[in-house]
Homo-oligomer: A and B are copies of this chain.
Amino acid sequence: MLKGIPPIISPDLMKILMEMGHGDEIVLADGNFPAASHAARLINGNGHGVPEFLTAILQFFPLDTYVKSPVMLMNPVEGDEEPVIWQEYDEIVTKMSSCPIQIEKLERMDFYERSKAAYAILATSERVPYGNIILKKGVL
Contact = CB atoms under 8 A, between A and B. Distances in A.
Given A1-B125, A5-B60, A10-B44, A32 B36 contact: no
Interface in A36-91: 36-37, 44-48, 52, 59-62, 66, 77
- Chain A binding surface SS class: loop
Interface string A109-132: 000100000010000010101000
Interface size class of A (residues with CB under 8 A): 35 or more
Contacts of A18: 1-2, 5, 10-11, 14
Contacts of A137: 34
A98 to B, nearest CB: 10
A7 interface: yes
Interface of A: 1-24, 29, 31-37, 44-48, 52, 59-62, 66, 77, 112, 119, 125, 127, 129, 137, 139-140
